[in-house]
Structure 1
Amino acid sequence: MSFDTISVIGLGYIGLPTAAMFASKEKKVVGVDVNQQTVDIVNAGKIHIIEPDLDVMVKEAVEKGFLKAVVWPEPADAFLIAVPTPFLPVKLIDLVPEPDLSYIKSAAKSVAKVLKKGDLVILESTSPVGATEQMASWLSEARSDLTFPQTHGEDSDIRIAYCPERVLPGHVVRELVENDRVIGGMTDNCSKAAIELYKIFVRGDCVVTNARTAEMVKLTENASRDVSIAFANELSVICDKSDIDVWELIRLANRHPRVNILQPGPGVGGHCIAVDPWFIVSSAPNESQLIHAARRVNDFKPKWVIEKVKATLAEFLLSNPSKAANDITLACFGLAFKADIDDLRESPALAITKDLAMLNVCNILVVEPNISILPASLSEMVGLVSVSAALNQSDICLLLVDHAEFKLVSKSDLENMAIIDTKGIWS
């Protein structure tokens, strides 16, 4: 196939780097996003996210005319859909959330308007099993003049595949090129077309399977990580109750040649590990007992951290009887869901900080070196300050994210302060 024009639907943390990567190979790329501000930023040769090397790629691609952003899809030879797949809100805490495919549906309906015979459509959004087939159905409903794989197999006018992203924030540009890709075509011809497209820049292997297996591969990878993190987080709670240093415990246990326990934290965040296991649980609730339990453990950890803060605050007041609660300042170090990025999606650090601010029991400062403006939900309740300002003004320091800047804080900087370290870098 000839891919003269490639369209990427959704210019977020995956879509924009993917669009820039194709453009770097001198392919004409049309990026589509419903947010006009995002479109304007990209067309100015700038980026709206923090990702090493991406700014240079986007600037060069726009200046050379290989990348442009629009609000509505335009005709292309291949369409990659990389839009959010959140969950519908639940009213009861014990209910399993159901996936919300409305963004995929909307993207499919908009793409359908400009489809032509021979086009390739790839779903990259993390999705429940069967989402690619559902997308194909939406496309077919919108374009009865074209044929699709679910009805015409190898002879279909349109090729459809699922290919999940599997990159690490902060390393996306490199991993898009180097990592293997799982290609789940609805037919063999669909898979072949998808491989030809990705091989424009992918140096890793393109491994072929069917669409449903490819969807499950992505969910399995992140559910596996979630279970492993849950074990570490549960250990940290047990060790705290037993007055054991969990960091030392894990370090010693990991000296066993076949043991590799991960590090605990304040919970699990991001739009992958904290979300993807629910796709499995929602589709097979009776069979996914371990995966479900891991989700509950990791969702519980932020609540445990908040209780730890309350206990520390009470101890501080007992040790300083001349002070009232509103005289005490708590500094929360980190809002992102992981170190050295600006991504706040599903961040336990952000959730903890919000809940503490809502309690209104003390003054709260926030240190997040990767953002310049607090999210609206926090801006009126807390102040965003530098590391040095937080250390100078605080009585209690809550370490939530192991950003590089926080690792530079010395023990002397923390003297005479109560410390709650959820990442083990100040312990």
Structure 2
Amino acid sequence: MRGETAPTVCVVGLGYIGLPTAAIIARSGMDVTGMDVSRIVVDTINRGEIHIEEVDLDGLVQAVVKNGKLRASTEVVPADVFVIAVPTPFAKDGHHTPDLSYVASAARAVASVLKAGDTIILESTSPIGTTETIRDLVAEARPDLAMPGLADGTPDIAIAYCPERVLPGKILEELTHNDRSIGGITPRCARKALSFYKRFVRGTCVTTDARSAEMTKLVENAYRDVNIAFANELSMVADAMDMDVWEVIRLANRHPRVNILSPGPGVGGHCIAVDPWFIVHGAPEQTPLIRTARGVNDGKIHHAIRQASALVDAHPHAKIACLGLAFKANIDDFRESPARLVAATLARRYGERVKVVEPYAEKLPIEFTDTGAELVDIDTALETCDVLVVLVDHDLFRSVPLEERSAKAVYDTRGIWPDQPAAQTPAIEERRAAG
């Protein structure tokens, strides 16, 4: 974009995606204001510090704050480009209905400071049609501005959707190098958003319509959810038939066209465990496979609880170490984490016998309050606990050698210790306990 004046940017939402995105944009030379409703978050960032754990993010935020390219505010400020990166959780109705209140609030806040020529880009994972909903909300708030798809001639505002595709622990790298799908309300909107992303994205940027871009993000995570469900279902079959699922998967994957994923205690995070329901909500009669996969993965959590409980009941006087609370390895993100649910359930059942090891936590989450469970380090757990329940495949746990765990009763939901004596598997322990 040589010769063009760099746009000013306002990123609305400074969470796991918003803050890294704001920092990456600021690093490219644009002046960025990050907006968040939390005064604590804003003050933290303005000190050059961060409130989330992500590789290399602390140094980058410190640098762009220090050189004046990034600042944080509790208010949306005028800018040329607005990037909305706020949560899209479920409504509290028990039906996995998408809650778009945060997106709507962000859109109205942006509308209050819009001027002709501005661009609004939604990055939040959203149900189909959300980008158009933003357009309609802005049109209602600002009848003085011509909106794309609603007015004849050239619109005053460009509106587009561009979801992130990132892996926690590699967010900065993937925000820069991954391909992006950019969906505009109109082709002109898509092109305008494309010119913005090409300033800091090295991956290929492909333009499309807004609905296709919205669906693409949901499809990507639903695809992964279905594949994980197959692996998790296999693991439950293997438990029922006294087989080693890890050995079966290893051998099956030697087929040149088979690539079975690794099972776990369920599926977590604010993407794979959530996004498939957005498709189901939009087309409930056409999504039996996606709905079933969600049921399998949620069911695996309860299976893990039953298996772990059987192992604990077979050792009625032993202390129990639950290894991990995060939804995946080597991160501090506990959102929708099956490990967290399994550990908390065991803590409520077995009280002070439960020790939790989570190297990325400074204290136990609120659901462990009054259970008697205690947060300890891995060495304390190995010294004091005879039952080990592996829930997260952190590198720290993988590094524990056989001699430190060979005498332990182990339920390994992640398959990180293939050399663990088979006699300690929960299916065998459950039958022994039943007599």
Instruction: Return the TM-score normalized by structure 2.
Output: 0.93
Secondary structure of the residue that 1:295 maps to in structure 2?
helix
Q: Which residue of structure 2 lines up, in the alignment, with residue 40 of structure 1?
A: 43
AA in 2 matched with 1:58: V
Query: 1:163 and 2:162 equivalent?
Result: yes
Query: 1:412 and 2:403 equivalent?
Result: yes
Q: Which residue of structure 1 lines up, in the alignment, with residue 390 of structure 2?
A: 399
**2-structure distance, mates of 1:238, 1:2:** 60
- Listed as ranges, the matches of 1:362-377 within 5 Å are 363-377=353-367
**2-structure distance, mates of 1:229, 1:408:** 25
AA in 1 matched with 2:379: S
Q: Which residue of structure 1 lines up, in the alignment, with residue 231 of structure 2?
A: 232
Asked if structure 2 preserves the Cα contact closer than 8 Å seen for 1:177 and 1:201, the reply is: yes
- Listed as ranges, the matches of 1:134-149 within 5 Å are 134-149=133-148
Shift of the alpha carbon at 1:2?
Answer: 4.6
Q: Which residue of structure 2 lines up, in the alignment, with residue 320 of structure 1?
A: none
Shift of the alpha carbon at 1:315?
Answer: 1.7
Asked if structure 2 preserves the Cα contact closer than 8 Å seen for 1:330 and 1:362, the reply is: no
Q: Deviations over 1:109-135 (max 9, x none)?
A: 111111111000000000000000011
Q: Which residue of structure 1 lines up, in the alignment, with residue 429 of structure 2?
A: none
CA RMSD of aligned residues (A): 1.3
**2-structure distance, mates of 1:376, 1:104:** 27
- Percent of aligned pairs sharing the same letter: 53
- Listed as ranges, the matches of 1:237-316 within 5 Å are 237-316=236-315
Aligned length: 414
Query: 1:351 and 2:350 equivalent?
Result: no
Q: Deviations over 1:12-46 (max 9, x none)?
A: 11111110011111210000011111111111101
Query: 1:30 and 2:37 equivalent?
Result: no
Q: Deviations over 1:356-394 (max 9, x none)?
A: 222245611111111222222224432111100111111
Query: 1:76 and 2:79 equivalent?
Result: yes
Shift of the alpha carbon at 1:291?
Answer: 0.5
Q: Which residue of structure 1 lines up, in the alignment, with residue 7 of structure 2?
A: 4
Asked if structure 1 preserves the Cα contact closer than 8 Å seen for 2:55 and 2:170, the reply is: yes
Asked if structure 1 preserves the Cα contact closer than 8 Å seen for 2:31 and 2:69, the reply is: yes
Instruction: Return the TM-score normalized by structure 1.
Output: 0.95
AA in 2 matched with 1:285: P
**2-structure distance, mates of 1:251, 1:56:** 40
Q: Which residue of structure 1 lines up, in the alignment, with residue 331 of structure 2?
A: 341
Shift of the alpha carbon at 1:3?
Answer: 4.2
Q: 1:106 to 1:88 in 2, by over 3 A?
A: same
**2-structure distance, mates of 1:120, 1:97:** 31
**2-structure distance, mates of 1:272, 1:117:** 34
Q: Deviations over 1:42-78 (max 9, x none)?
A: 1110111111111111000000000000011000000
**2-structure distance, mates of 1:335, 1:241:** 26
> Which of 386, 389, 392 in structure 1 is aligned with 2:380?
389
Secondary structure of the residue that 2:151 maps to in structure 1?
helix
Gaps of 5+ in 1: 318-322
Q: 1:252 to 1:61 in 2, by over 3 A?
A: same
Shift of the alpha carbon at 1:150?
Answer: 2.8
Q: Deviations over 1:82-117 (max 9, x none)?
A: 0000001234xxxx4110000000111111111111
Asked if structure 1 preserves the Cα contact closer than 8 Å seen for 2:309 and 2:346, the reply is: no
AA in 2 matched with 1:274: A
Q: Deviations over 1:286-317 (max 9, x none)?
A: 10010000000000111001101121122223
Asked if structure 2 preserves the Cα contact closer than 8 Å seen for 1:337 and 1:349, the reply is: yes
**2-structure distance, mates of 1:14, 1:87:** 18
Q: Which residue of structure 2 lines up, in the alignment, with residue 60 of structure 1?
A: 63
Gaps of 5+ in 2: 419-435
**2-structure distance, mates of 1:150, 1:135:** 12
**2-structure distance, mates of 1:176, 1:88:** 29
**1-structure distance, mates of 2:320, 2:5:** 58
Shift of the alpha carbon at 1:141?
Answer: 1.1
**1-structure distance, mates of 2:5, 2:188:** 14
AA in 2 matched with 1:414: R
Secondary structure of the residue that 1:150 maps to in structure 2?
coil
Q: Deviations over 1:249-306 (max 9, x none)?
A: 0000000000000000000000000000000011111100100000000001110011
Asked if structure 2 preserves the Cα contact closer than 8 Å seen for 1:3 and 1:77, the reply is: no
**1-structure distance, mates of 2:391, 2:153:** 51
Q: Which residue of structure 2 lines up, in the alignment, with residue 205 of structure 1?
A: 204
Asked if structure 2 preserves the Cα contact closer than 8 Å seen for 1:266 and 1:423, the reply is: yes
Q: Which residue of structure 2 lines up, in the alignment, with residue 16 of structure 1?
A: 19
Q: 1:153 to 1:426 in 2, by over 3 A?
A: farther
AA in 2 matched with 1:346: E
Segment drifting more, 407-416 vs 229-238? 407-416
AA in 1 matched with 2:157: I
Asked if structure 2 preserves the Cα contact closer than 8 Å seen for 1:398 and 1:419, the reply is: yes
Asked if structure 2 preserves the Cα contact closer than 8 Å seen for 1:82 and 1:123, the reply is: yes
Asked if structure 2 preserves the Cα contact closer than 8 Å seen for 1:133 and 1:150, the reply is: no
AA in 1 matched with 2:54: E
- Listed as ranges, the matches of 1:111-130 within 5 Å are 111-130=110-129
**1-structure distance, mates of 2:142, 2:6:** 21
Q: Which residue of structure 1 lines up, in the alignment, with residue 433 of structure 2?
A: none
Asked if structure 2 preserves the Cα contact closer than 8 Å seen for 1:154 and 1:187, the reply is: no
Segments of 4+ moved more than 6 angstroms: none
Secondary structure of the residue that 1:155 maps to in structure 2?
coil
**2-structure distance, mates of 1:155, 1:378:** 56
Secondary structure of the residue that 1:208 maps to in structure 2?
strand
